[in-house]
């Protein structure tokens, strides 16, 4: 669209052209919101050509949600700079630092608006803000970790030292000694489990993303083979069922950690009063996702605790079987992989956890 310049406008347009050639920012000349001229930098910023812009409304740059702000700024503080989102020719959102100047020429009101593209600055600010939030979260988690781990590490050690003293005193018969040894073994099992979870926690913090093909059945059967010989797992029945439509690519260490923690949780919180304890693992791989289910008929989780089970160090049971890091690590690893988790649980009926992990086979 073109505007035929009246003779009295020619000197203004010539002045604007000369100004636009030396300016390092985009310049827009308009009257009542109708664009009269723009310099080359505006064309570069927006992707619009001068020919396309002349005669159009300045609203062509402004997203709907920002129009009221622009009108308010132009009316109340016409010369104050402000930051605003604007739209380029491809309707991509960008950021500009805008400042205007009203002109009275030949009795007519005009306005020159300068715009500096600050998109990269705003993107950097958003990235820094996100990183700051991550650091705040990390610092909070580390404070919680130091506070809780000091207790969780000392508790089994203190118990073990007390039991060792009783054994040294050599009081009681063989039956008492066997009981002391059993309690000592339980303390060491708790300590070993906690230190392993701490190692997993720090690995999760430090490791990046490492994509590789994963043989799901081999991984699941390997996890079961390791866990079924752990403490309290001897009376559980494990089953693995895999429906594989194609290859699965993801971060193997993180996926393995997710599954291991879910299966370990099922073992820790099985119901010793039942004779048919089981842990059933089902997996399905398709082009987009790995869908995996871990189901047990254990103690289950009380409804009043279900919104807290993924919190760091939260333990829903009074049996003191875990550190409260396992499900927290499941959540953290899934967030890293852009995965999801859901669960259903009832007291004495067991729990069923379902996870979805994106398949990176297409490099998504």
Which two structure tokens, joined as six digits, stand for 71? 């009108």
Domain end, chosen from 61, 89, 117, is at: 117
Q: Report the percentage of the chain scoring pLDDT > 90.
A: 20
For residues 237 and 89, give the distance between their C-alpha atoms in angstroms, rounded to a whole number: 62
Q: Which residue has the higher pLDDT, 197 or 280?
A: 280
Which two structure tokens, joined as six digits, stand for 243? 């429906």
Burial of residue 221 (CB within 10 Å: 0-12, 13-18, 19+) is middle
Range 129-150 average pLDDT: 71
The answer as to whether 189 is a domain residue is yes
Position 318 confidence tier, pLDDT thresholds 50, 70, 90: low
Span 80-136, pLDDT tens digits:
888 888 878 887 888 888 888 888 888 888 888 888 888 888 888 888 888 888 788
Beta strands in 164-277 (DSSP E): 211-214, 237-244, 248-251
User: What is the CATH classification number for the domain harbouring 108?
Assistant: 3.30.450.20
Give the per-residue pLDDT at 316. Answer: 66
Position 150 confidence tier, pLDDT thresholds 50, 70, 90: low
Same domain, 128 and 91: no
Q: What is the DSSP letter of 45?
A: H
Backbone angles phi, psi at 245, to 5 degrees: -90, -25
Which two structure tokens, joined as six digits, stand for 80? 């104050």
Q: What is the pTM of this model?
A: 0.53
With beta carbons less than 8 A apart as the criterion, state whether 257 and 329 touch.
Answer: yes
Same domain, 361 and 237: yes
Q: Which residue has the higher pLDDT, 295 or 174?
A: 295
Same domain, 169 and 92: no
Q: Report the percentage of the chain scoring pLDDT > 70.
A: 84
Give the per-residue pLDDT at 216. Answer: 93
Give the per-residue pLDDT at 294. Answer: 96
Q: What is the DSSP letter of 69?
A: H
Span 54-66, pLDDT tens digits:
988 888 887 777 7
For residues 298 and 58, give the distance between their C-alpha atoms in angstroms, rounded to a whole number: 65
Give the per-residue pLDDT at 319. Answer: 56
Consecutive H or E run containing 138: helix 119-169
The answer as to whether 224 is a domain residue is yes
Beta pairing, strands 93-105 & 108-117: antiparallel
Domain end, chosen from 157, 191, 206, is at: 206
The answer as to whether 228 is a domain residue is yes
Q: What is the DSSP letter of 272?
A: T
User: What is the CATH classification number for the domain harbouring 326?
Assistant: 3.30.565.10
Position 239 confidence tier, pLDDT thresholds 50, 70, 90: very high
Give the per-residue pLDDT at 131. Answer: 84
Position 242 confidence tier, pLDDT thresholds 50, 70, 90: very high
With beta carbons less than 8 A apart as the criterion, state whether 300 and 345 touch.
Answer: yes
The answer as to whether 1 is a domain residue is no
Q: Which of 334, 222, 241 is nearest to 283 (CA)?
A: 241
Span 22-48, pLDDT tens digits:
788 889 898 888 999 999 888 888 888
Structural domain range at position 322: 210-364
Q: Which of 51, 56, 63 is nearest to 31 (CA)?
A: 56
Q: Which residues pair with 113 in a beta bridge?
A: 28, 100
The answer as to whether 313 is a domain residue is yes
The answer as to whether 2 is a domain residue is no
Range 329-346 average pLDDT: 91
Same domain, 150 and 292: no
The answer as to whether 324 is a domain residue is yes
Give the per-residue pLDDT at 277. Answer: 92
Q: Which residue has the higher pLDDT, 2 or 299?
A: 299
Range 195-221 average pLDDT: 77
State the total domains in the chain.
3
Same domain, 319 and 180: no
Q: Which residue has the higher pLDDT, 220 or 159?
A: 220
For residues 50 and 308, give the distance between their C-alpha atoms in angstroms, rounded to a whole number: 58
Domain end, chosen from 117, 149, 172, is at: 117
For residues 307 and 364, give the distance between their C-alpha atoms in angstroms, rounded to a whole number: 31
Give the per-residue pLDDT at 66. Answer: 77
**Mean pLDDT over each residue of the chain, to the nearest integer:** 82
Q: Which of 143, 256, 251 is nearest to 207 (CA)?
A: 251
Report whether pLDDT(221) > 90: yes
Same domain, 108 and 161: no
Same domain, 195 and 214: no
Beta strands in the chain (DSSP E): 26-31, 34-38, 82-87, 93-105, 108-117, 211-214, 237-244, 248-251, 278-285, 289-296, 340-346, 350-358
The answer as to whether 141 is a domain residue is yes
Specify the 3-state DSSP secondary structure of 158: helix
Report whether pLDDT(2) > 60: no
């Amino acid at each position: 669209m073109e505007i035929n310049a009246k003779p009295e406008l020619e000197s203004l347009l010539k002045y604007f052209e000369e100004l636009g050639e030396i300016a390092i920012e985009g310049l827009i000349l308009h009257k009542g919101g109708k664009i009269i001229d723009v310099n080359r930098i505006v064309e570069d910023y927006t992707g619009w050509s001068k020919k396309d812009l002349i005669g159009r409304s300045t609203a062509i740059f402004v997203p709907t949600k920002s129009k009221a702000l622009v009108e308010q700024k132009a009316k109340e503080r016409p010369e104050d700079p402000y930051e605003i989102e604007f739209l380029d020719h491809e309707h991509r959102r960008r950021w500009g630092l805008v400042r205007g100047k009203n002109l009275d020429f030949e009795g007519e009101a005009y306005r020159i608006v300068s715009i500096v593209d600050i998109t990269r600055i705003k993107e950097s600010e958003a990235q820094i803000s996100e990183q700051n939030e991550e650091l705040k979260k990390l610092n909070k988690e580390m404070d919680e970790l130091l506070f809780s781990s000091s207790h969780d590490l000392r508790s089994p050690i203190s118990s073990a030292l007390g039991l060792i003293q009783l054994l040294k005193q050599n009081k009681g018969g063989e039956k008492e000694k066997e009981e002391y040894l059993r309690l000592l073994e339980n303390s060491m099992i708790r300590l070993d489990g906690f230190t392993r979870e701490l190692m997993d926690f720090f690995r999760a913090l430090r490791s990046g993303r490492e994509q590789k093909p994963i043989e799901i059945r081999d991984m699941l059967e390997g996890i079961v083979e390791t866990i079924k010989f752990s403490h309290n797992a001897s009376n559980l029945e494990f089953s693995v069922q895999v429906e594989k439509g194609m290859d699965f690519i993801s971060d193997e260490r993180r996926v393995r950690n997710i599954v291991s923690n879910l299966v370990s949780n099922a073992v820790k919180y099985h119901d010793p009063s039942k004779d048919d304890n089981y842990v059933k693992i089902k997996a399905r791989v398709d082009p987009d996702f790995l869908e995996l289910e871990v189901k047990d008929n254990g103690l289950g989780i009380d409804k009043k605790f279900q919104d807290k089970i993924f919190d760091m160090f939260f333990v829903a049971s009074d049996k003191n079987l875990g550190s409260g890091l396992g499900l927290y690590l499941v959540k953290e690893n899934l967030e890293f992989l852009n995965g999801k988790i859901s669960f259903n649980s009832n007291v004495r009926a067991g729990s069923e956890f379902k996870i979805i992990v994106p398949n990176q086979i297409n490099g998504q």
